[in-house]
A and B are shown apart, each in its own frame.
Chain A
């Protein structure tokens, strides 16, 4: 192995790919998408409407209008101080229920009415229904639901002769604070949501990292094969030098991406996050080296897979098929993440943790949730190192033959034979 030449190849691979538009875009867009995807829906759901919304009420009993209007006036105001909701009663004295509903519906179609609450004739769990062109608006539905619930409760309490203030005092308001403890005796607060989120982000990170850089690698392998640049490369360097050059260049790419995301994340946390999130991230610092070890090993493992399989494909279409299978493998731990958090010591999880394709994601999930026994950490790390080395060896065998095959995709039997060849 000529080290200088191998590093030259690594440098070229890194520089060519780090400058590619797709890489730069992925670098910036991925955190933005994750950020938007997690923050924005929450923000939208909480926010009051910006304009006063007209809600119709079809209340044949006449009992709901007054309390509902009072409740909405009191609890929901726009930032300008105007009421957020205006209630219009469509069932005045003597108007038949059906006719009132029809009138409300046509007002909705005309755009003057956002929706209408229809009082239910029957007594029961469903006290009213809400009809609208857009009944899925969680903000309005939630607001109305809570309002009607409060009003109905007050009415029922009154009917039963219980004082509302007394009820409020008696009604329990339970919220368990979750505390995560570990062997060091430090206790930190860590809710299910934070835990799930962290674990989820970590396996997503590995997946995106592998897919973006792996995808870039496979595309460049296809280019080298279809352009026959491979012929020049193969006459200038050994397959081992090419393979390791590409692996190192690719790892550099992964590290760059990770570093950029960490930086963006740090900036994001500094400016945006609440104290709780910062405290939660603080807890991660201690286990960061371990997480990084799994992340990097997982990355190297999949990078070898990409190089081995990538050298076999000759077209973009084949590459996409291959990538979609790898996505499935990478996604599996994310899908079972909930299972990990609810029962991190389950036997099936411990067994799955020893399967190299799942090891990194599952162990990262488990470490964040509940630190697994040291023996398992050492065991999985060792197995991961061994399987990465073996896989890289196998992939280099495939690589050195496959890169010189153009046009025709080799059969499984041929690939197995290459593995045996000296």
Chain B
């Protein structure tokens, strides 16, 4: 269990993290969610002891940070790279050595992982000769080589192709099953919904939602409706029963007012659109997030991203 209490971090003009508290239990995959710039990476950098919080405490299974803890953290940073001119195997071995492994163990484990991840060819090639996907696998190996007790992945899947995303998902699931403490940060809500058992949602340096994914969903029963249609649906957002909505060319996600029901919505649609499907749905984490912080406070990219996903 990693327990962070009342973390504060202020950079010159930005209050990056403002009273964030998290409890990441062992044996679960804890999703740290939020848009870019919400304070996720700063929180993670404090947990990995790369930067110190201005205030607040972090404990690891009850212990304060120490060199032993440092060596039991496996960290995959958000933007990442490797020494391009170095050799494949020696790079991974070096990372493992920094985490306290002896040369022989590091070497044999590295070869095992390289084999499992299907990185083919000589391991004495230079890193730059590997494809981007294989370089990412190498980074994941480097983060896990010392069998860390605390696994911290920051936007781990960004840039991974679907096959490697699946591979990573399997690995993370294995780590969870073996009781590790896993903190998984992402801005992709759908991914968190599939992978995480527990989440904390951060916006502008503050935790705005916390709990298991089910709890969060139940708490925010929501009033979401999906409409598939043909025609120009731009008017949907402005209808009286609709609080807010996102309209795509043939598809719309609408959040109705709390007292409104499908019956209130339907009369407005008849005759104006050809409706293919209309359905009440459980809100997505994305919808819950937008609902919680208010549309005005949602960074534009979160709204845009939703479009990308739908497209």
- B137 interfacial contact with A, CB 8 Å: no
Asked whether A231 and B98 contact (CB < 8 A) given A16-B85, A16-B86, A20-B85, the answer is no
Q: A8-B98, A232-B75, A236-B98 are in contact. Are A226 and B50 (CB under 8 A)?
A: no
| B50–A404 touching, CB < 8 Å | yes
Distance in angstroms from A289 CB to nearest chain B CB is: 36
Residues in A neighbouring B51, C-beta threshold 8 A: 404
**Residue with the greatest number of chain A CB neighbours at <10 A, chosen from B49, B73, B81, B83:** B81
**Closest residue of A by beta carbon distance from B50:** A234
CB within 8 Å of B: which A89-140 residues: none
- Does A370 sit at the interface, judged by CB under 8 A? no
Q: Is the CB of A228 within 8 A of B80?
A: yes
A235 touches B48 (CB 8 A): yes
Task: Give the distance to chain A from B153, nearest Cβ to Cβ, in Å.
Answer: 12
Quick check: is B220 within 8 A (CB to CB) of the other chain?
A: no
In whole angstroms, what is the CA distance A223 to B2 when docked? 32
Residue B3 CB within 8 A of the other chain: no
CB neighbours (8 Å) of A229 from chain B are 80-83
Give the residues from 1 to 52 in chain A that come closer than 8 angstroms, CB to CB, to chain B.
Answer: 2, 5, 8-9, 12, 16, 20
Docked complex Cα distance between A25 and B71 (Å):
38
Q: Is A233 an interface residue (CB 8 A)?
A: yes
Residues of A within 8 A of B48 (CB): 235
B81 touches A228 (CB 8 A): yes
The answer, yes or no, to whether A375 is at the interface (CB within 8 Å) is: no
Docked Cα-Cα span, A40 to B168, in Å, equals 63
Name A236's contact: one of B83, B85, B99 (CB within 8 Å).
B99
- Known contacts A2-B67, A16-B86; is-contact A233 B81 (Cβ 8 Å): no
A287 on the B face (CB < 8 A): no
Q: How far is the CA of A16 from the CA of B49 in the complex (A)?
A: 27
- 33-54 of chain B: CB within 8 A of chain A: 45, 48-51
Instruction: Report yes or no: A223 in contact with B67, Cβ–Cβ below 8 A.
Output: no
CB under 8 Å from chain A, chain B span 176-214:
none
User: Per DSSP, are chain A's interface residues mostly helix, strand or loop, or mixed?
Assistant: helix
How far, in whole Å, are A226 and B97 apart by their CA atoms in the complex? 23
> Which A residues touch B49, using CB under 8 A?
235
**Contact residues, B64-120 vs A (CB, 8 A):** 67, 70-71, 73, 75, 77-86, 94-95, 97-100
| B50 CB contact (under 8 Å) in A5, A12, A235 | A235
Q: Which of B50, B82, B98 contacts A9 (CB 8 A)?
A: B98
A20-B85, A223-B83, A227-B81 known; A232-B142 Cβ under 8 A:
yes
Find out whether the CB atom of A235 lies under 8 angstroms from the CB atom of B73. yes
Given A232-B77, A232-B142, A235-B49, the answer on whether A227 and B95 have CB atoms closer than 8 Å is: no
Q: B83 to A16, Cβ gap below 8 A?
A: yes
For the complex formed, measure the closest distance between the CB of B247 and the CB atoms of chain A, giving whole angstroms: 36
Given A5-B98, A8-B94, answer yes or no on A236-B77 (Cβ-Cβ < 8 Å): no
Asked if A70 is at the interface of the complex by the 8 Å CB criterion, the answer is no
Asked if B79 and A228 sit within 8 Å, CB to CB, the answer is yes
Residues of A within 8 A of B67 (CB): 2
Chain A residues within an 8 Å CB radius of B80? 227-229, 231-232
Q: Which among B70, B71, B84, B99 is the interface contact of A223 at CB below 8 angstroms?
A: B84
Does A237 interact with chain B (Cβ within 8 Å)?
yes
Task: Tally A residues with Cβ within 8 Å of B.
Answer: 21
Most-contacted residue by chain B among A228, A231, A234, A404 (CB, 10 A): A231
A8 touching B50, Cβ below 8 Å: no
- Across the interface, B70 reaches (CB within 8 A) one of A226, A231, A235, A404, namely A235
Find out whether the CB atom of A236 lies under 8 angstroms from the CB atom of B81. Answer: no
Q: Which residues of A contact B81 (CB under 8 A)?
A: 226-229
Q: How far is the CB of B59 from chain A (nearest CB, A)?
A: 17
A226 proximity list for chain B (CB < 8 A): 81
Question: Which of B12, B73, B86, B98 lies in contact with A233, CB distance below 8 A?
Answer: B98
Kindly list chain B residues whose C-beta atoms are within 8 Å of the C-beta of A16. Answer: 83, 85-86
- Between A226, A235, A237, A414, the greatest number of chain B beta carbons within 10 A of the residue's beta carbon is seen for A235
- With A and B bound together, what is the CA distance between A300 and B249 in angstroms? 66
Kindly list chain A residues whose C-beta atoms are within 8 Å of the C-beta of B79: 228, 231
- Closest B residue, CB atoms, query A239: B50
Q: Is B83 a contact partner of A231 (Cβ separation < 8 A)?
A: no
A232 contact from B84, B85, B95, Cβ within 8 A: B95
Cα A9 to Cα B79 in complex, Å, equals: 22
Min distance, Cβ A255 to any Cβ of chain B, angstroms: 22
For residue A245, which residue of chain B has the nearest CB? B98
Considering only residues 233-284 of chain B, those with a C-beta below 8 Å from chain A are: none
A20 to B126, CA, bound (A): 12
Residues of B within 8 A of A236 (CB): 70-71, 95, 98-99
**B249 CB to closest chain A CB, in angstroms?**
37
The smallest C-beta distance from A233 to any residue of chain B, in angstroms, reads: 7
Give chain A residues whose Cβ lies under 8 Å from the Cβ of B94. Answer: 8, 12
- How many Å from the CB of B205 to the closest CB on chain A? 18
Given the interface pairs A2-B67, A8-B94, A236-B98, the reply to whether A231 lies near B84 with Cβ below 8 Å is no
Question: Once bound together, how far apart are the Cα atoms of A172 and B64, in whole Å?
Answer: 89
Q: Which residues of B contact A223 (CB under 8 A)?
A: 83-84
Q: Bound state CA distance, A16 and B90, in angstroms? A: 10
Question: What is the CA–CA distance of A9 and B99 in the complex, to the nearest angstrom?
Answer: 12
From A2, A12, A227, A237, B82 is in contact (CB under 8 Å) with: A227
Complex: A205 Cα to B79 Cα, angstroms: 40
Q: Is the CB of B98 within 8 A of A228?
A: no
Nearest B residue to A226, CB-CB: B81
A9's nearest neighbour on chain B, judged by CB, is B98
**Nearest chain-A residue to B74 (Cβ)?**
A235
A234-B49 Cα distance, complex, nearest whole Å: 8
| 10 A-B residue pairs with CB within 8 Å | A5-B100, A226-B81, A228-B78, A228-B79, A232-B142, A235-B49, A237-B98, A404-B45, A404-B51, A414-B12
Going nearest first, the 4 A-B pairs with the smallest beta carbon separation are: A227-B81, A231-B77, A236-B98, A235-B48
Beyond the given A227-B81, A229-B81, could you list 6 further A-B residue pairs with CB under 8 A, ordered by the A residue number? A228-B78, A231-B80, A232-B95, A232-B143, A235-B48, A414-B12
